[in-house]
Chains A and B, each alone.
Chain A
């Protein structure tokens, strides 16, 4: 029994959320999904380890949850949107996670994004049919 190969497997630095990733991380993602409910967030905060046990989140997955290791969770197959439900209220934004993946600061990550917009207005002017203020 092997997981099927995909054309997207060799995109560098990219973990496409497919069955191969979603299957082993199902319990972890279910725990993260539960944080939509405020009562669940409170229950988790009172006893994180017991909450993991309740969701059958064990071993390295449980350790990552208990240590707020969001990067570790993503590497183990947490879905980014589900991870954000836990990380964002704890002060880790999606941009913080992106920066951590690259080993740079969030400020550097944000600057790299801003650099993508350099020359944009000129580019749009040249194309002619775009709104430009």
Chain B
């Protein structure tokens, strides 16, 4: 039986990847942000997942606006990173686990989450940067990974409540997989930020901290907010934080808080690292 060990949240902004590529992680601007990943990395080393599932949004690498799936699951053996228009060198490809992906797809659809299955899926900075921040760079990645993309780019985007329910369905899907497998789920993106309009540059530290506290211990709290209300507080791109709910929903209600790290600003955003561990998982 596949077992969910826990979950980790991480920002996925391009600047994080650039800081890693340019060896700036101990630069004064970046030091506190990256140092706060230390306990998360230590926990990952102990947790030793056999596979990670990365919940993220595509920013126009794999999906153009001609087809925008609300939820899309990678169902391939391999996922490649590619040029997003900036001419950066792509990372090494990521090994997947197609039989598990198809099991998850089947289970989700049985549970009335009609997810889009993708046999080819390029993964962009949203997927890659949390892995780089938590594992460092590798020519061969130390862990297989499955991408689960949520549309947070073109509205209508799913509600926080829907993301939490998807997480619960994902948890059931994994629990019903016959093979023994230790899984960690990454919820990425956020926190408060807005890139466009005269309101660009907003960060709401209080709202971010409340989101971190509540997502850890009482995730239903966030479902009281509509997407309009979340964007009003956290900015248009701050809506990405709903993806953390997919991770949270897959974990036990009484998952233990191992680590909480918040930093702002980093580039245009507030950034939160939350490490949650399922009971009896270690």
Contact = CB atoms under 8 A, between A and B. Distances in A.
B82 A131 contact: no
B39 interface: yes
B200 A98 contact: yes
Interface in A11-65: 11-19, 22, 26, 29-30, 33, 35-38, 41
Interface string B195-229: 11111110101000100010000000000001111
Contacts of B213: 127
Contacts of A101: 196-198, 200
A22 B67 CA distance: 12
A8 B61 contact: no
B282 interface: no
B154 A113 contact: no
B3 to A, nearest CB: 26
B165 interface: no
Contacts of A131: 36, 39, 259-261, 273
B264 A116 contact: yes
A98 B195 contact: yes
A129 B260 contact: yes
B198 A6 contact: no
A29 to B, nearest CB: 6
Contacts of B197: 13-15, 74, 101
A117 B194 CA distance: 16
- The dominant DSSP class at the A interface is helix
A88 to B, nearest CB: 5
Given A15-B196, A94-B195, A97-B200, A85 B64 contact: no
Query: Among A36, A88, A109, A120, which residue has the most Cβ atoms of chain B within 10 A?
Result: A36
Contact of B196 (A8, A26, A80, A112): A80
A91 B87 CA distance: 13
B155 A38 contact: no
B200 A84 contact: no
Contacts of A88: 85-86
B200 A35 contact: no
B21 to A, nearest CB: 15
Interface in B126-164: 153-156
B19 to A, nearest CB: 14
Contacts of A85: 60, 84-86
A114 interface: yes
Given A8-B232, A22-B154, A38-B87, A14 B60 contact: no
20 contacts: A12-B198, A14-B197, A14-B199, A18-B156, A36-B60, A81-B60, A84-B85, A85-B60, A95-B268, A97-B195, A97-B200, A98-B201, A101-B196, A102-B198, A102-B200, A114-B265, A116-B270, A123-B209, A129-B260, A130-B261
